[in-house]
Structure 1
Amino acid sequence: MKRYVSLLVIFLLITSLWIPAASAEEKKSADITNNVKSAILIERDTGEVLYEKNSNEQLPPASMTKIMTMLLIMEAIDKGKLTWDEKISTSEYAASMGGSQIFLEPGEQMTTKQMLQGIAIGSGNDASVAMAERIGGSEEAFVEMMNEKAKELGLKDSFFKNTTGLPSSGHFSTAHDMAIMAKELLKYEDITKFTGMYEAYLREDTDKKFWLVNTNKLVRFYPGVDGLKTGFTAEAKYCLTATAEKDGMRVIAVVFGAPTSKERNAQVTKMLNFAFNQYQTHPMFKRNQAIGLAKVSKGKEKTVEAVTSEPLSLLTKKGEKTVDVEQKINLNKNLDAPIKKGDKVGTIKLIKGGQVVLESELVAKSDVKEAGWYTLYKRSFGMFTKAGK
């Protein structure tokens, strides 16, 4: 307990950092991109918008849809509902997917890791559906999960009809929403081990060895790019949600509707250059960093460790002076068991000039099961005897 008390004291100390006060007009007036339908550039940890162009226009996202598909896969792994080595079976329906694929055959099995390689590197529609069926029971049920997750993230301009991004009426998203999905996906640092690979092989020890080459060429040609997902259909044109990390700062750039893949990459490159030339971040917390103990009522354990749900940083323009920023931690006081790993148990806020400039959830590090009647009886009896003394 002494360690957590010390941590809380440290967290409440004032940190000398500064938050940029660039106006929305300044961000929009910067003429960074051209020849694309919409675009946005954000810093990952703060979500600060550094540049945008028609970022709320509803457009077909093509295979960028798979960012949401991968997010639900990573969540399932993080919550222990799925393992990396689990073998996933391919249904006839999954194997029938057209477009980009890794040519899964009905009944073929691959591990979660291999399927994710097929999705992240090769944009496999068949692998996406196979994983959707494993997690949701059917693609339709998984799509419902995708739309529920979009609502949970506060995304009002996205709606999914499938897991792949294949053309479908009423299947749409925006540059803004895609950036938020990417921000959420990047909580899971393992994802860039897949999206950042330029090439890999499936079925290596068979006569059907399959070479995967990343559809995102910036992974190879722009230092620091390690994701996330390209997209193309005749309707959507060339799209890309990219992420790059340099000097501890991670940014996300999204473009919709470029006329060619070369133009798509050129516009994203300009946005990335702008971010790294103009801004810097100051890391504050890593994901899953312990913050304190939240009390739990009627649980097998009386407390649960509260950890950060994502990396947290502060953003400044390069060369700007700093001012004081306060950190405030609030742990929920009315938590009842059962609690699942990842459930919200509090918040952390960064405050500047009396205003909250960044707020993020604190989550349970582990499950807390409901206590049985005998455990509760012993606790009550213990309290009674202490009171009697």
Structure 2
Amino acid sequence: MLNKFCLILSISIIFCSIIPAFAAEEAKLITAPAGVLMEAQTGKILYENNPHEQRPCASVTKVMTLLLVFEAIDSGKLSLDTTITASEHAASMGGSDIWLEPGETMSADDMIKATVVASANDAAVALAEQVSGSEESFVEQMNNRAKELGMKDTVFKNCNGLDEDGHITSAYDVAVMSRELIKHEKIFDYTSVWIDYLRGGKTQLVNTNKLLKTYKGITGLKTGTTDDAGCCISATATRDGMSLIGVVLGCDNGKQRFADAAALLDYGFANYSVKELSIPEDMPVNIGVDNGMESSVGIKCDVNSGFVTGKASADEITSTLDLPESLEAPVEEGQIIGKLSFEANGEKRDFQITAAGNVEPITFGGVFKTALNSLLAL
């Protein structure tokens, strides 16, 4: 009897030890050593596996390079029509390139196209030199921007992702900089290109992101492969109004990279949705002003976000309005006068309510001027 009990106990212990292993295996969506799935609008992480493990990311580095390029375009420092001349340094890059010759010229538009579509290392360096004067200065700018974005796992040593000691990032940080890049919607004009040409049709570019041909809703973004980094990707896709960023680092081969990225995106689209926020119907459109030349002023509230919720979730979004009954003159346009709050799934989002115009305090001169204008209008 005792032996039988011991046998049952042993089987139970083994069975209980196996169940967590199965659960862990089932919960792991990817085979890559590191990965992150982020919802793009809110930045919410929907899945992670070793998100802050520092690793090289190969040409996914170019996400930051392209971010700085598009920010330079926004600031007027660079335009798509700018003619860029390749330096000897830019032309000396190995790996993926478009075989730039020292002194060869191309538009910034073509250089961006080559960087995005063909992952051209030489084109990336040419862009960096145009923006900052040298690759070294540009890399310093890359690291400063990374700090501004809170990318604590990242150190850039070059602008194209070629293997270099100390050139590291993490899956989380890649998602963060990818989210920032895709705020510049012009990038999708390049990331959605499958085949294009340079040099009057003499140089063919074929996109390194094979998901463009196989994944519904894919919009980008950037692949990368080196000996140290393995096969990496930051993949972006949009379905039913929700945009996702799937990052995988360190895959053994390209097939695994694309399969893992697709698995992350599939998981997000199958299980989550974005509930957009909107101004409550009973929110007033103006507020009274005491002792002012006007009796009221309009109010503004820019609600431009949403909540990521599980598709099976029954949680509803509640709103709270914090607004005084009236204001005291003077009132300035843009003055913060209240707050609109939303809450769902334990998360809270606050939005400032501001005055939509100016209201001067009552003065004798102001009253006289108003009365005179009224008489003249008769």
Partner residue of 1:249? 242
Q: Percent identity?
A: 42
Q: Which letter does structure 2 place at the counterpart of 1:233?
A: T
TM-score normalised according to structure 2 size? 0.73
Q: Which letter does structure 2 place at the counterpart of 1:151?
A: K
Alignment of 1:342-361 (within 5 A): 351-352=342-343, 357-358=348-349
TM-score normalised according to structure 1 size? 0.71
Contact 1:96 1:126 in 2 (8 A): yes
Alignment of 1:1-389 (within 5 A): 31-204=27-200, 209-284=202-277, 312-326=305-319, 351-352=342-343, 357-358=348-349
Residue 60 of structure 1, CA deviation: 0.5
Residue 232 of structure 1, CA deviation: 0.7
**Cα deviations by residue, 1:101-154 (Å, 9 ceiling, x for unpaired):** 011111111111111100110001111000100111110000000000000001
How far apart, in 1, do the equivalents of 2:79 and 2:351 lie? 27
Contact 1:72 1:146 in 2 (8 A): yes
Residue 351 of structure 1, CA deviation: 3.5
Q: Which letter does structure 2 place at the counterpart of 1:313?
A: G
Change (3 A) 1:192 1:151: same
How far apart, in 1, do the equivalents of 2:351 and 2:211 lie? 30
How far apart, in 1, do the equivalents of 2:317 and 2:301 lie? 24
Q: For 1:323, what is the secondary structure of its paired residue?
A: coil
**Cα deviations by residue, 1:229-277 (Å, 9 ceiling, x for unpaired):** 1111111111111000011110000011111100111111111111111
Higher helix share: 2
How far apart, in 2, do the equivalents of 1:118 and 1:67 lie? 13
Change (3 A) 1:360 1:33: farther
Which of 1 and 2 has higher RCO (CA within 8 Å, sep 6+)? Answer: 1
Residue 157 of structure 1, CA deviation: 0.4
Change (3 A) 1:36 1:77: same
Which of structures 1 and 2 has the bigger CA Rg?
A: 2
Query: Which has the higher mean CA deviation after the structures are superposed, 351-360 or 82-91?
Result: 351-360
Aligned residues: 305
Residue 314 of structure 1, CA deviation: 2.3
Residue 199 of structure 1, CA deviation: 1.3
Partner residue of 2:293? none
Q: What runs of 5+ residues in structure 1 fail to find an aligned partner? A: 1-27, 286-305, 330-344, 362-382
Change (3 A) 1:105 1:284: farther
Contact 2:30 2:263 in 1 (8 A): no
How far apart, in 1, do the equivalents of 2:64 and 2:311 lie? 33
